[in-house]
Amino acid sequence: MKLKIFILILVAVFYAVQVNAQCCGAGNPLNGFGDVSGFQYKSLQISPQYKYSYSDQYYEGSKKAGVSPDRMFYNFISLDAAYGISNRLSVQGQIGYFINKTKLYNIEGWDDMTGYGLGDAEFNLRYSLVKNVLKKFDVSPSIGIKVPVGVFDQTVNEVKLPISLQPSSGSLKYNASVFVSKNFQKYSLSFKAFAEYANRIASQNFDYKYGNLYVVSMFGSYIITSKLNAVLQGQYEYRGKSQRENSEVIESTGGQVVYLIPQLNYTVFKDIALSLNAYIPFYRYMNGIQIANKYSVAFRITKSFNFNKNI
């Protein structure tokens, strides 16, 4: 019974979160917690999360560029929830809030600038297409939408902040993914492929489209003790170039990044788990010259509820 609960929580702490992996664009960031195939019928999970990210390196291609006009960091919190509508179908959501999103300029006379506020809200539907309990093999496709509920035109001292400091992305985005996992006794192996398309932002004084995002992740988890398990994820991310007005391609946008994401999960009580991960860029190729993320860390608490009286 304890093992069942642990496995439930183990599976639960990896539920899907967005994979919007930009370092310095607007909108909710990636937190990198792993993914699961689905939820039990009538099981609910609530997860408040916190993430800190720091960026101070400009890259040109795969090499550090010889420029350093600014640095950036943010403190971000979000609330994630997931619910099993049936044994195969689950719904997941997230809403995020930037405590601060700050740019520190290395330019004489330039003051630091900070944005803050509500980011985006995301909703996903996941279906367990293949759920082989005996062989412990799952294949789960998912579709989702990200809605820019927060502010995208925040001003400070009557000056509109740049897009990189706006809390919301300002763009309606659609995503689709597929998750495959195979569980063994002490460990599991998983694979995820994800794609996101962003609608064009067309307002009075602004015309912009984020590049499409494609992410492929491989991860393995290992049970260290009955309460502690570790995960190592390798993630490849490709982002296309953005476009501005008249569909003009912006050359210094988009690129490819490979991350290593180590993670620890600890079960405090049977229905409460803690997770900690770090986002470590392993390889980068940035189009043109762009600022790139140096590192980020995230922390999450997961509380599970089971409303299914049959379990």
Identify which range of 2-10, 105-113, 263-271, 298-306 contacts another protein by CB under 8 A.
105-113
Instruction: Mark residues 174-213: x for contact with another protein by CB under 8 A, - for none.
Output: -------------------------------xxx------
Q: Which one, 241 or 294, has the nearer CB to another protein?
A: 241
> Stretches 10-18, 48-56, 225-233, 250-258: which one binds another protein (CB under 8 A)?
250-258
CB 284 → another protein: shortest distance, Å?
Answer: 15
Token pair for 35: 């993914």
Whether the CB-CB separation of 216 and 180 falls below 8 Å is answered with no
Q: Which stretch binds another protein (CB under 8 A): 33-41, 110-118, 224-232, 261-269?
A: 110-118
Rule CB under 8 A: say whether 155 interacts with another protein: yes
Between residues 128 and 168, which has the closer beta carbon with respect to another protein? 168
Q: 30: which residues sit within 8 A by CB, 6+ positions away?
A: 17, 18, 19, 20, 21, 279
Q: Which stretch binds another protein (CB under 8 A): 129-137, 151-159, 220-228, 258-266?
A: 151-159
Minimal distance, residue 164 CB to another protein, in Å: 8
Residues that bind another protein (rule: CB under 8 A) add up to a total of: 30
CB 275 within 8 A of CB 33: yes
The DSSP call for residue 164 is G
Q: Does 157 bind another protein (CB under 8 A)?
A: yes
Closest CA to 290 of 33, 65, 112, 1: 65
Question: Torsion angle, CA of 4/7/13/18, rounded to 10 degrees?
Answer: -110
- Distance separating alpha carbons of residues 290 and 57, to the nearest angstrom: 8
Whole-angstrom Cα Rg for the chain:
20
HEC letters along 242-266: CECHHHCECCCCCEEEEEEEEEEEE
CA distance 51 to 297: 6
Nearer Cβ to another protein, position 17 or 291? 291
* Residues of the shown chain interacting with another protein in the complex, contacts defined by CB under 8 A: 67, 69, 105, 107, 109-111, 113, 153, 155, 157-160, 162-163, 205-207, 242, 244-245, 248, 250-253, 288-290
